[in-house]
Amino acid sequence: MSEQLALLPAYLTGHVQLTLVALLLGTAISVPLGIVATRVRWLEQVVLGVAGIIQTIPSLALLAIMVPLLAALQVQSIGYLPAIIGLTLYSTLPILRNTVIGIAGVDPAYTEAARGVGMTERQQLWRVELPLAMPVIVAGLRTSSVWVVGMATLSTPVGATSLGNYIFAGLQTRNYTAVMVGCVAAALLAQLLDGLVRALEQGVRLHRRAPVAAALSVLAALYLFAGVTLVRPLLAGDAARQVVVGSKGFTEQYILSEIVSGQVTAETGLGTTLIQSLGSTVAFDALRSGDLDVYVDYSGTIWATILRREATTENRSEVLGGVERELAADYGVHVVGALGFENTYALAMRSADVRALGLRRISDLIPHAARLVFGGDYEFFGRPEWVSLQERYGLAFAERRTMDPSLMYQAVAQGDVDVISAFSTDGRIAALDLTLLEDDRGAVPPYDAVLLVSDRLMREQPEVVTALQVLVGTIDADRMRAMNLSVDADGLTPRAVAEEFLAGR
Amino acid sequence: MIELDALTKRYGDQVVVDRLSLRVERGELVVLLGTSGCGKTTTLKMINRLVEPSDGRVLLDGADVGSLPQHELRRRIGYVFQKVGLFPHMTVFENISITPTLLDWSADRIRRRVDELLELVELDAAEMRDRRPDELSGGQQQRIGVARALAAEPTVMLLDEPFGALDPLTRDRLQQSFSRIRSQLGVTAVFVTHDLTEALLLGDRIVVMRDGHLVQEGTPHELMVNPVDEFVEQMIGTPKRQAQLVDDLLGRGTPA
Ligand SMILES: Nc1ncnc2c1ncn2[C@@H]1O[C@H](COP(=O)(O)OP(=O)(O)O)[C@@H](O)[C@H]1O
Ligand SMILES: [Mg+2]
């Protein structure tokens, strides 16, 4: 708990920055746009339509799509910028819609009276329509602020620090204290903002000075805090260029990023910045644009999702060589080397069954498949690996079940299912006495863990690359499984496991 | 001086006001009288251009009202609305001071003017100034409505059934104070009502309207003595009959 609370200032600061800036921008865009929409008839439909469409985009996707978009524009593609843009877009609809509804809902008797006493269009808007629509507009702002606080937790995968760091890492490493701290902090922040906005609106409407002053000063203090903490790193400049280390959002990646970070600091004395829980392709895009300096990916993933190759019979070294050549030539991304293990889709069974049936390879499984139940994670049955397993082995299982990856291992150990699509480095394979079957017909492409670095790092800080080369070939699959297990089952932090690894060499 | 010259308003095929011509002399109060829906409000709103005429002209002191920017025209004409019209988010002070504020009067002059007007409409300034419309009775709201219309010292006032929604006692009191105010200020006014008693009481001259037409025009006396047709005669007949009835009741019901 205290370990988690120690992270709170950084995560909460990030969250407050994102939320407040997005809401400010969202309001600054939506209210004027809403006003114009009530004046220009055809615009109303267009504006509400576009905002409505933005709203239907799943929020995580809306944030993730910003990364390649910004990268294409050659601006900072991970971190605050994509998160702020995504959150701002998302915040617009409730404010926009309520501005339009609020102004349109003003009793025509009042707008006519406004003209009758000699107001111009503009005076009518400022002195009559906006004040009368204010409660409705503020209701929209309150909806937005609650939405944005919640959605800001999804900024973590695009590289912006937020309370989502607790939630993403916590869920993946089964640290539910972290998840809880993140959720409670987000809920409290949402309540606070909602309360502030409400106090402000009521105070203004009822002409009460005290609540307005109180709410305004708290808001001003929050904005000042967000502004200062946002601007300070910019002013500090890049005198001491930190090495930015990324990780995707699962246990192994958290550990590897800590190992990389520790290694860099130990060998070069340079500071590092960790950006964790990044979305799968977000990390690669960020490396390519130079917003990230180093992270670990898997050869088969690059092969299929970046280079768009089909799973082939090509062996480990061929895929690795192809990835290295093509990334350097076409993407300006460099492969430092393979860490020494694969994290691949592998079929796993209870060791007792494997012995009883005399199995070693997947092809041995063919005659028994009709009596076995197969469990796979959500995406497995839609993946090329499953297709190619079918093509090469023609496995006809008695039944197929889709399950959560975190429950799969327990399910096979308890005998609920007989075969699962395991991740080959998951610690629970050893812990639950499971055995992996050898892919003797090469259906699953090799997934070698490889250290990738940006072009910028290669050119400007070659000493870092040299430091990373030390890690090449030092982690085998058993070692990785053991480290994963230490986090997942024993509750160690990824950093503690990484420190132990670095100390042991 | 207000002149309506063949003023006409059409909504689609419906002619709501039909070639209405009328002259209101300086300092005179003309009542537009007629049943509901006959075009009184529309006529009134065409004078300050809240409604644009389909045909015809309105002249104010000889100048076409179309020659001024609309908001400038309206700041020179006090308007009392048929329905509430007081802004619910503003205090009494703010409501009354709107037009002077739009005209950039000094804060000091505005404050003095508001107090003066509250006194004129017989309300206690200190007590009323900071109240909101929903904290006022109907009668108080209408007094504030009149005060707001008078705020910028207009020479012309348009009033649309200002006392229509009030109970008879309050209406009676307000009619009397208005009558006094008008004679005190000498504004030129057009006053819309469907209530003949009110018309007779307040009007220097009465214009009877029906279906957008002018039916008869004259002083209260001329109208009473010489109704131009059955419609007008009937209209005048109603209060006469009612007064008769009241007299009878009082005469018979008085204990010996
Ligand atoms: N904006 C409008 N569109 C269409 N018809 C209208 C409009 N305003 C008023 N009318 C019609 O014009 C007629 C006269 O209305 P109005 O001037 O309000 O009558 P009055 O004030 O004498 O009761 C009514 O039949 C009314 O329905
Ligand atoms: Mg009317």
d(CA A354, CA A365): 9
Q: Please state the rounded mean pLDDT for residues A376-400.
A: 86
Q: Residue A312 pLDDT more than 80?
A: no
Instruction: Decide if A118 and B50 are in contact by the 8 Å CB cutoff.
Output: no
Closest Cα of chain B to A120: distance in Å? Answer: 6
ipTM of the complex: 0.91
> If you measure CA to CA, which chain A residue comes closest to B97?
A117
Mean pLDDT of the residues in chain A: 89
Is residue B163 within 8 angstroms of chain A, CB to CB? no
d(CA A375, CA A406): 12
d(CA B236, CA B234): 5
Nearest residue by C-alpha to atom 20 in ligand 1: B37
Is residue A126 within 8 angstroms of chain B, CB to CB? no
Mean pLDDT of the residues in chain B: 91
Q: In which band, very low, low, confident or very high, does the pLDDT at B185 lie, cut at 50, 70 and 90?
A: confident
Closest Cα of chain B to A102: distance in Å? Answer: 15
* Chain B (56-115) residues lying within 8 Å, Cβ to Cβ, of chain A: 70-75, 79, 81, 83-89, 91, 98-99, 102-103
d(CA A167, CA A473): 32
Per-residue pLDDT tens for B8-46?
999 999 999 999 999 999 999 999 999 899 999 999 999
Is residue A208 within 8 angstroms of chain B, CB to CB? no
d(CA B12, CA A208): 49
Q: E strands of B12-137, at which residues?
A: 14-24, 29-33, 55-60, 63-64, 77-80
Give CA separation, A386 vs A229, A366, A396, A404, in Å. 48, 15, 12, 17
Is residue B25 within 8 angstroms of chain A, CB to CB? no
Q: Residue B254 pLDDT more than 60?
A: no
Q: Residue B255 pLDDT more than 60?
A: no
pLDDT for the residue numbered A55? 83
Nearest residue by C-alpha to atom 4 in ligand 1: B11
d(CA A343, CA A423): 6
The alpha carbon of residue A468 and the mean position of all alpha carbons in its chain are separated, in whole angstroms, by: 25
Q: Please state the rounded mean pLDDT for residues A67-91.
A: 87
pLDDT for the residue numbered B241? 80
pLDDT for the residue numbered A305? 82
- A128 vs B contacts (CB less than 8 Å): 87
Domains of chain A: 2-236 (1.10.3720.10), 241-344+446-504 (3.40.190.10), 345-436 (3.40.190.120)
pLDDT for the residue numbered B167? 86
Out of A86-95, A125-134, B102-111, B244-253, least confident range: B244-253
Is residue A119 within 8 angstroms of chain B, CB to CB? yes
Specify whether the CB–CB gap between A446 and A315 falls below 8 A.
yes
Q: Residue B256 pLDDT more than 50?
A: no
Closest Cα of chain A to B22: distance in Å? Answer: 22
Out of A91-100, A188-197, A439-448, B53-62, least confident range: A439-448
Using a 6 Å cutoff on CB, does residue B212 contact ligand 1? Answer: no
Q: Residue A280 pLDDT more than 80?
A: no
Q: Residue A78 pLDDT more than 90?
A: no
Q: In which band, very low, low, confident or very high, does the pLDDT at A234 lie, cut at 50, 70 and 90?
A: low
Q: Residue A185 pLDDT more than 90?
A: yes
The structure tokens listed for A266 are: 């130990």
Strand order in the sheet with B213-218: B77-80, B156-160, B188-193, B29-33, B205-210, B213-218
- A112 vs B contacts (CB less than 8 Å): 50, 81, 85
Instruction: Decide if A115 and B50 are in contact by the 8 Å CB cutoff.
Output: yes
Any idea which ligand is nearest the CA of A108? 1
Instruction: Decide if B85 and A109 are in contact by the 8 Å CB cutoff.
Output: yes
Our mutation pick for probing the ligand 1 site, out of B15, B42, B215, counting the most ligand atoms within 8 A of Cβ, is: B42
pLDDT for the residue numbered B225? 86
> If you measure CA to CA, which chain A residue comes closest to B49?
A116
Per-residue pLDDT tens for B132-155?
999 999 889 999 999 999 999 999
- A131 vs B contacts (CB less than 8 Å): 89
Nearest residue by C-alpha to atom 25 in ligand 1: B37
Closest Cα of chain A to B204: distance in Å? Answer: 25
User: Who has greater pLDDT, A249 or B100?
Assistant: B100
Percent of all residues in chain A with a pLDDT value above 90, rounded to a whole number = 52
- A120 vs B contacts (CB less than 8 Å): 71
d(CA B208, CA B214): 6
| CB crowding B148-180: b at 16 or more within 10 Å, else e | bbbbbebbbbbbbbbbeebeeebbeebbeebee
pLDDT for the residue numbered A494? 92
Ligand 1 centre to CA of B37 (Å) is 6
In 3D space, the residue among A478, A246, A462, A436 whose CA is nearest the CA of residue A340 turns out to be: A478
Using a 6 Å cutoff on CB, does residue B13 contact ligand 1? Answer: no
Please name the residues in contact with B11: beta carbons below 8 A apart, sequence gap of 6 or more.
Answer: none
Q: Residue B84 pLDDT more than 70?
A: no
Instruction: Decide if A119 and B71 are in contact by the 8 Å CB cutoff.
Output: yes
Q: Please state the rounded mean pLDDT for residues B226-248.
A: 82
- A109 vs B contacts (CB less than 8 Å): 81, 83-85
Q: Residue A489 pLDDT more than 80?
A: yes
In 3D space, the residue among A149, A28, A190 whose CA is nearest the CA of residue A96 turns out to be: A28
Return the residue in A103, A107, A110, A117 with the most chain B beta carbons within 10 A, the one to mutate for interface testing. A117
Q: Is B105 exposed, middle or buried (0-12, 13-18, 19+ CB in 10 A)?
A: middle
Q: Please state the rounded mean pLDDT for residues A419-438.
A: 90
Q: Please state the rounded mean pLDDT for residues A35-55.
A: 87
Q: In which band, very low, low, confident or very high, does the pLDDT at A314 lie, cut at 50, 70 and 90?
A: low
Q: In which band, very low, low, confident or very high, does the pLDDT at A313 lie, cut at 50, 70 and 90?
A: low
Q: E strands of chain B, at which residues?
A: 2-11, 14-24, 29-33, 55-60, 63-64, 77-80, 156-160, 188-193, 205-210, 213-218
d(CA B88, CA B97): 14
Using a 6 Å cutoff on CB, does residue B38 contact ligand 1? Answer: yes
Q: In which band, very low, low, confident or very high, does the pLDDT at A259 lie, cut at 50, 70 and 90?
A: very high
Instruction: Decide if A118 and B87 are in contact by the 8 Å CB cutoff.
Output: no
Strand partners, B192: B32, B160
Using a 6 Å cutoff on CB, does residue B175 contact ligand 1? Answer: no
Ligand 1 centre to CA of B38 (Å) is 8
Q: Please state the rounded mean pLDDT for residues A148-161.
A: 91
Percent of all residues in chain B with a pLDDT value above 90, rounded to a whole number = 68
Q: Residue A289 pLDDT more than 50?
A: yes
Give CA separation, A271 vs A231, A241, A263, A264, A365, in Å. 20, 8, 11, 8, 50
Q: Please state the rounded mean pLDDT for residues A387-413.
A: 88
Ligand 2 centre to CA of B164 (Å) is 10
Please name the residues in contact with A308: beta carbons below 8 A apart, sequence gap of 6 or more.
Answer: none
Any idea which ligand is nearest the CA of B15? 1
Out of A108-117, A146-155, B234-243, least confident range: B234-243
Q: Please state the rounded mean pLDDT for residues A228-244.
A: 70
The pocket of ion ligand 2, defined by CB under 5 A, consists of B 41
Q: Residue A253 pLDDT more than 60?
A: yes
Out of A50-54, A345-349, A498-502, least confident range: A50-54
